[in-house]
Structure 1
Amino acid sequence: MPSSHRPLVAVLSMLLLLPFSARAGERPARIVIDPGHGGVKEGAKGPGELREKEVALQIAQRVRSRLEAAGGDVYLTRERDAQVSLTERVSLTNDHGADLFISIHANSMPTKRMRERTEGIETYFLSANASGDDARAVADRENAEAPVSRAARGDSTLAFILQDLVRTEAHADSSRLAYSIHPRLIRGTRAADRGVQQAPFFVLSGVECPAVLVEVGYISHPQEGAKLGRAEYQEKLAEAIADGVLAFLKETRRRDATREPQVAGPVLP
């Protein structure tokens, strides 16, 4: 295909996937993109001066551009290199009445040998139990900035139970969102596939909409870390994430449109 036609094809492809912007009587989907860390919380370190907080923000901005071009109403939890607490990120998402939440991070390993050997992309959704020791370790690292207890968030036991009921369907859809985004990330980047996993991430636990956390690669790996700092590779990641979101929203709107209204019936003895 001539290169001059590719931008047009890309635009047409996005229009065909529009599930949320152009239909009469429907508001655009509200999507919150969460660039991990920020400010003094630099996150993981990569080659040279590369830092997770910078990579996460750059990719988040690229994802926003793509989703806004498709008609989405997109917010970032931080627009610049600023420190935003995990509690503030959750509150911002819920205050916006978000339909989707995507948190973007880069992974790392602690020892030189592990840094040289470990690479690849992982996509997470919330679970009380981690899907393995590695998933638990990732959650522990990302939760290091979280309040030390539920009391620190000001949650009562009753409020937590009520919120949990509200999140039930959102949690079920979170796994669908993860499986929509992850294969596209692997196809688009040809990175090592570390799978869709589950773990108890604080930033996912309070969000009242489908939510995933994407570890876009190991910034500590010599080659993959260098890629994460490059604009062309970040565009591949952003394109895959945006395409996964669009496909998920299209399928979800189709599903919700065919649901029969739920009407309460008589209580049988």
Structure 2
Amino acid sequence: MRYILALAFCLASLGLAQPRVGTEDGLTRLVFGIPSEASYSLHRQNNEVSIRFQGTPPRTLRTLLNTPQVVGYRATPSAGGSIYVVTLRAGTRYRTLELSNPRRLVLEVRGHAATHPRPRSTARAPTAVVVLDPGHGGIDPGAVGLVREEEAVLEVALLTRRLLEARGIQVVLTRTGDQHLSPNKATDLGLRAAMADSKRTLFVSIHANAAERAAQGIEVYYFGETIDQRLLSKAILENGGGMLGQRLTQEARSVAQRLMRDLLAQANLKFSEQLALKTLRSLVRETGAVSRGVHTAPFYVIRNARIPAILVEIGFVNHPEEGRKLATRAYRQQLANGLAGGITAFLNSGNAQR
């Protein structure tokens, strides 16, 4: 529950008003504070419950909750107030009740399977599950310079896992050795992307850069469209290169255009942006590396993420200084410290904005 609240606080920091949200075993509860003179009406169609408030301030917001009962909700201004649309998961039922002093509307959503709640004494907060994706591997070495990308990013991921697990965070790796998930690049990327599902908390794909001209530094991406030809070329390369990379990048760009029309997906992208910013800040602080900023790009591996997802470029393997650093255990440990710090800051962002 604390991670759901952390995400709620994350949106609040963006200036988005929202109801209070709570969860119990088999139940998600949304509590709307409403003025005494306001009125409201409810309507359900398929998996959406619409609540029309009149006599309330107009609101525009979108929030991804991702609980077992509720996907999320959005609000848009209407004549004299706002309309909130709550998206429920299949097989759920809901009830409403009104409370007073102060006046509140409570929407409770239950799953059919929750007939025997566990005793409160045995209830435990869910553990965050972080997916770390060391890029490339096996038949695909990635960028090659003073160090091989596949080898550097794997050790950074393993070191990051150790740090996160020491903090009580569960970690899933897409690979644990010099291996590919499939000899077919499109299938390989698809298998990695499939791990960014709603059963996990966040997804971080780790890569290293290379450039024809001398360049150095760390950059972080979250999914989206770009008109920057350099970033587009980079996406094509990470998406497999050549004709395959162009095809997968075009597929990813089509997804990006579709997400722009999906309010819940946009909320998830906002979370991804916050994760990217905190991760870059932590990496630069730990390593002293050049910050190349946070960007959006159509990377295939994070195109369909149902959770906050980013792609991190930890440095340039062919830079005369940075390439040598990337080959050392000490610098990889600094990178791991930065990644773990950024991830932890994001998960705890409901308590401390950094």
Query: Which of the pair has more CA radius of gyration?
Result: 2
Equivalent position of 2:286 in the other structure: 188
Q: Describe the shift of the 1:150–1:67 C-alpha distance in structure 2 as closer, same or farther (beyond 3 A).
A: same
Counterpart secondary structure, 2:239: helix
Q: Secondary structure at the match of 2:294?
A: strand
For the pair 1:90 / 2:187, whether they are aligned, the reply is no
Which whole-Å CA distance do the structure 2 matches of 1:128 and 1:56 have between them?
25
Q: Which amino acid aligns with 1:233?
A: Y
Cα-to-partner distance string for 1:223-269 (whole Å, 9 max, x where unaligned): 111101111100111001111111111114789xxxxxxxxxxxxxx
Q: Name the structure where strand makes up a greater proportion of residues.
A: 2
Instruction: Please give the residue correspondences for 1:215-226 in structure 2 after superposition, counting only pairs within 5 Å.
Output: 215-226=313-324
Which residue does the alignment assign to 2:162? Answer: 65
- The answer (yes or no) to whether the contact 1:166–1:208 under 8 Å persists in 2 is no
User: What residue number does 1:25 align with?
Assistant: 124
Please give the alpha-carbon distance, in whole angstroms, between the structure 1 residues aligned to 2:291 and 2:134. 22
AA paired with 1:119?
Q
Q: Flag the 1:31–1:219 CA change in 2: closer, same or farther, 3 A.
A: same
Q: Secondary structure at the match of 1:93?
A: coil
Partner of 1:6: none
Deviations 1:156-177 (A, max 9, x none): x9xx87x966533221100000
Distance 1:253 1:230, change over 3 A: same
User: 1:90: Cα distance to partner?
Assistant: 1.2
Q: In structure 2, the residue corresponding to 1:129 is in which secondary structure? A: coil
Tell me if the contact between 2:239 and 2:248 (Cα under 8 Å) persists in the aligned partners. Answer: no
SS of 1:174's partner is helix
The letter of the residue matching 2:204 is: I
Question: What per-residue deviation string (whole Å, max 9, x for no partner) do you get for residues 31-83 of structure 1?
Answer: 00000001011100021xx2101111110001111100000010001111111
SS, match of residue 203 in structure 2: strand
Q: Paired residue for 2:175, among 57, 63, 78?
A: 78
Mind listing any 5+ residue stretches in structure 2 that lack a counterpart? 1-5, 7-122, 182-187
Task: Calculate the TM-score normalised by the size of structure 2.
Answer: 0.57
Deviation for aligned residue 1:152: 9.1
Residue 126 (structure 1) aligned with residue 223 (structure 2): yes
User: Matched residues in 2 for 1:79 and 1:165: separation?
Assistant: 36
Q: Is residue 167–residue 209 contact of structure 1 (8 Å, CA) maintained in 2?
A: no
TM-aligned CA distance change 1:133 to 1:252, over 3 Å: farther
Q: Aligned-pair distance for 1:119?
A: 0.8
1:121-179, CA deviations, whole angstroms, 9 ceiling, x for partnerless residues?
Answer: 1111111225x3322222121112668359999xxx9xx87x96653322110000011
Match among 207, 210, 219 for residue 105 of structure 1: 207
Q: Over residues 169-219 of structure 1, what are the superposed CA-to-partner deviations in whole Å (9 max), with x where a residue is unaligned?
A: 221100000110101111211111111111111111111100111100001
The aligned residue for residue 143 of structure 2 is 44
Tell me the distance in 2 between the aligned counterparts of 1:226 and 1:150: 31
Q: Does 1:238 align with 2:336?
A: yes
* Helix, strand or coil at the partner of 1:28: coil
Looking at structure 2, the residues matched to 53 and 83 of structure 1 have their Cα atoms a distance apart, in angstroms, of 10
Aligned residues of 1:35 and 1:57 also touching (Cα < 8 A): yes
Q: 1:79 to 1:246 in 2, by over 3 A?
A: same
Residue 122 to residue 254, structure 1, CA distance change in 2 (3 Å): closer
Query: Compared with structure 1, are the counterparts of its residues 138 and 151 closer, same or farther at alpha carbon in structure 2 (3 Å cutoff)?
Result: closer
Partner residue, 1:209: 307
Over the matched positions of the two proteins, sequence identity in percent amounts to 36
TM-score (norm 1): 0.74
Letter in 2 for 1:214: V
Higher relative contact order (Cα pairs below 8 Å, separated by 6+ residues): 1
Instruction: Give the root-mean-square deviation of aligned CA atoms.
Output: 2.9
Residue 83 of structure 1 aligns to a residue in which SS? Answer: coil
Q: Which amino acid aligns with 2:231?
A: A
